[in-house]
Structure 1
Amino acid sequence: MKVTIQTPGFTGRPDLLKFTEEHIQKLHHLSDRLMEGQVVLSLEKSDENKNKVCEARIVVPGYDLFASKTAASFEEAVVNTCEALRKQIAAWKETTGASFPR
């Protein structure tokens, strides 16, 4: 699965980008029909500590799955976003009869 990561407004650390790509790639094990992952990591203007945002879109044939989570760290936001996407992928497979991993 092709994964693109954008970090508008700042330069993402290489270890953060690797962490994000690895977690998004793990979703591909849930279905071989996941085509592309698009991730945007951004900082929300806020006085609160929870201002790191991860938005992810997973492209599947005829459908897009989307999740967005805010947390105190980018890593936590990525993990929470991937968990939300896992649930959506499970629901998508159940309703469409999508193939399971081989």
Structure 2
Amino acid sequence: MTVNFQYVNTDVSETLSAFTEDKLEKLANKFEFIISAQVYFKHDDNDHNAGKICNIEISLPGPRIFATSNKHTYEVSVNETIKDLMRQLKKRKEIYKVY
């Protein structure tokens, strides 16, 4: 699985990229039909309580899956986004099951 990172209005962080890639690899091991992932990290100056936005778009056979979250740290935002993607992937895997 290939993972592409884009940082918008924030500095590039190798540790954040490694953390996110590790989480996405766990998803790829569980759901073998994942092709690639686009990860966007954004910073919103107007939102003082949160403002750390993580958008992840996963390519797989059929329509793409997208999830986003806005929390106070990027790590929490990544975890929330991964949880949402996991829920969507479980639903998608039910469609792919052969009976």
- Structure 2 portions without partners, runs of 5+: none
The residue aligned with 1:37 is 37
Identity of matched residues, %: 28
Length-normalised TM-score, structure 2? 0.91
Aligned residue pair count: 98
Please identify runs of 4+ aligned residues in structure 1 that moved more than 4 A. none
Is 1:83 the counterpart of 2:83 in the alignment? yes
Length-normalised TM-score, structure 1? 0.88
Separation in 2, partners of 1:77, 1:44: 13
Which structure exhibits the higher relative contact order, with contacts defined as CA atoms closer than 8 Å and separated by 6 or more residues? 1
The residue aligned with 1:10 is 10
The residue aligned with 2:49 is 49
Which stretch of structure 1 is more off in the superposition, 69-78 or 19-28? 19-28
Contact 2:10 2:41 in 1 (8 A): no
Q: Deviations over 1:36-94 (max 9, x none)?
A: 01100001232422110000001001220100001000000001000100000000011
- Structure 1 portions without partners, runs of 5+: none
SS at match of 2:93: helix
Contact 1:16 1:75 in 2 (8 A): yes
Provide the aligned C-alpha RMSD in A. Answer: 1.4
